[in-house]
Amino acid sequence: MHDADDLQNPGVRDPIVTMRGMVKRFPGVLALDSVDLSLYPGEVHALTGENGSGKSTLAKLLAGTHRADAGVITIDGQVVSIASPRQALSHGIVTISQELTLNPTLSVAENIYLGRVPVGRFGTVSWRSMNAAARELLDRLEVGIDETASVGDLRLELQQEIEIARALSMRGRVLILDEATSSLSEKSAARLMEVVEEQRDKGVAVLMITHRMPEIYRTATRATVLRDGALVDTVGLPHTPERELVCLMVGRELGDYYGSRTSTAPDSGSSAVPALRLSGLRTADGALQPTDLDVRRGEILGVAGLAGCGKLELGLALAGAISSLGTVEVDGAAISLRTPLDARLGGIGYVPDDRKGAALLLERSVTENFSLANMKRLMPFGFLSSALERTVVQRSIERYAVRTASANTTVGVLSGGNQQKIVLGRTFDLGCPVYVLNEPTRGVDVGSKSAIYAFLRAEADRGAAVVLISSELPELLGTSDRIVAMYRGGISGEFTGDRMTEELVNEAAVSGRNAPAVTHQSAL
């Protein structure tokens, strides 16, 4: 194991923050077991590990959200007690969390400067100064919203960006990002990473928790790995390979992180009827241009592209979630896609990108959520068979390696990875010939990602056609038999074999090189 101090930034002698021997217990759980961490000015330090490893707990000790049961925290070499977020802020420690803390009844500017409202000469609130300062912050983040708008009227992503603006307005010396990009679009997440780099260059110490490996390797110079509440190692980046870092997180060698192929990918020249055929599939608003595409049984087709490229609309159209025109065939038979039920009855299983908002009943049990898509199977005589339900659900829990205390556990308390396994598992249990998966590993830890990739490959090996829509190009390159890139609503390139490289796919996705004016015919 490396000593964290041995990996400090060159030329920097003293850390801003040290945490030594940090211990935190919750009822029945040792969440942190004597963990050490140091943060230096002008560095981004990634805190990594699977869900439940203790990352957020350690960050919350520094942020004052939790109090440690043992351990010492120093700021600039002085021992301090951080018993509340206010005390943390007094030491220059600012947090951006995925958990929103906004007041929905107040304006954007009021939320940004809540508790720090500028006051004029006569002791009254200077609304003009506050709104102008808020506008400057929002422009810096490229957030196009009115600073006087009510926060309660804004969608989740914009609220998250207000949280970011508020944190930046505090001008902290230490910035904690706890899954801060989980609710952001690709563009907004990329802009936040630019802001993180700006803060780093100003001498701010950044502690970043994220499941997105590209963010870690773009910005971080060190990574501390936790597993089951214990410190595994602190390593230097970027010379520590991603594969090695992932192995440290999960505690085992990953034979094939993206899932081993147990069968040969389908021959693109085969004359067999494709599992999925699109002919002129499009949306009336032009977000999805007329698209022709075949996907064969046993194939994982990756769909790449930037935000607004049409890949989201492609998935929603195939799910019957938005109105579309054109023809869709499953195993040679044309199907209707007027509703999500039409898609499912036609043989298309769909996994949405927002599991909490569109796929799960968070207040219901694991059993109820697994059963949602399989009620017909569980009602052989017109009424629900509780015994059959228990058997089927337990089998699915084991098959998809869902970590839960019991089948009666409320889904909302499970980690993101286990929630996603339930969504994928109940969809795969339908036995569809075609699956369309929209960002299936978003907000999922690396161990669960590896398991999900194995599930996708198993379905392809079973003979299903899998359409994988993802914003993570390494994920697409690692899992897909073929990739199509989308640009401005159409397919701008198709890649297999030696041409399936990050450079070529990125070029087609970013520049639209060879992009069709209207349509694309898959070269199958």
- 118 and 239, same domain (yes or no): no
Residue 341 included in any domain: yes
Residue 263 included in any domain: no
Low-confidence ranges of the chain (pLDDT < 70): 1-12, 122, 253-256, 259-271, 376, 378-382, 384-385, 514-524
The reply to whether the predicted model has a pTM over 0.95 is: no
Q: Which two tokens stand for residue 396?
A: 């699915």
Residue 85 included in any domain: yes
Q: Which of 146, 171, 196 is the last residue of a domain?
A: 171
Its domain, for residue 119, covers: 106-171
SS (H, E, C) 252-291: CCCCCCCCCCCCCCCCCCCCCCCCEEEEEEECCCCCCCCE
| Total tally of structural domains belonging to the chain | 4
What pLDDT, on the 0 to 100 scale, is given for residue 516? 45
Q: Which of 381, 415, 449 is the last residue of a domain?
A: 415
Cβ within 8 Å of residue 51, ≥6 positions away: 415, 416, 417, 418, 445, 447, 448
pLDDT digits (tens, 9 = 90+) for 428-473: 999 999 999 999 998 888 888 889 999 999 999 999 999 999 988 8
Residue 520 included in any domain: no
Half-sphere exposure for 242 (CA within 13 Å, toward CB): 14
What pLDDT, on the 0 to 100 scale, is given for residue 521? 41
Place of tokens 């799910």: 319
- 340 and 449, same domain (yes or no): yes
Distance CA 45, CA 171 (A): 18
- 385 and 501, same domain (yes or no): no
Q: How many helices (H) and strands (E) does the chain have?
A: 18, 20
- 8 and 75, same domain (yes or no): yes
- 167 and 179, same domain (yes or no): no
pLDDT digits (tens, 9 = 90+) for 99-131: 788 999 999 999 999 888 777 776 777 888 999
Q: What's the CATH number where 186 sits?
A: 3.40.50.300
What pLDDT, on the 0 to 100 scale, is given for residue 185? 78
**499: part of which helix (H) or strand (E)?**
none
Q: Which of 149, 171, 193 is the last residue of a domain?
A: 171
- 200 and 86, same domain (yes or no): yes
- 334 and 443, same domain (yes or no): yes
Q: Are 313 and 288 in contact (CB under 8 A)?
A: yes
Q: Which two tokens stand for residue 169?
A: 């307005």
What pLDDT, on the 0 to 100 scale, is given for residue 255? 58
What pLDDT, on the 0 to 100 scale, is given for residue 271? 59
- 400 and 467, same domain (yes or no): no
Q: Are 492 and 515 in contact (CB under 8 A)?
A: yes
Residue 229 included in any domain: yes
By the 10 Å C-beta count (0-12 exposed, 13-18 middle, 19+ buried), 13 is classed as exposed
- 123 and 232, same domain (yes or no): no
- 404 and 280, same domain (yes or no): no
Distance CA 8, CA 453 (A): 35
Residue 516 included in any domain: no
What pLDDT, on the 0 to 100 scale, is given for residue 156? 82
By the 10 Å C-beta count (0-12 exposed, 13-18 middle, 19+ buried), 94 is classed as buried
Distances (CA, A) of 59 to 67, 88, 129, 335: 11, 11, 33, 50
Q: Which two tokens stand for residue 462?
A: 């079973």
Question: What are the residues facing 265 on neighbouring strands?
Answer: none
Distance CA 286, CA 256 (A): 39
Residue 352 included in any domain: no
What pLDDT, on the 0 to 100 scale, is given for residue 522? 38
Residue 141 included in any domain: yes
- 15 and 75, same domain (yes or no): yes
- 38 and 135, same domain (yes or no): no
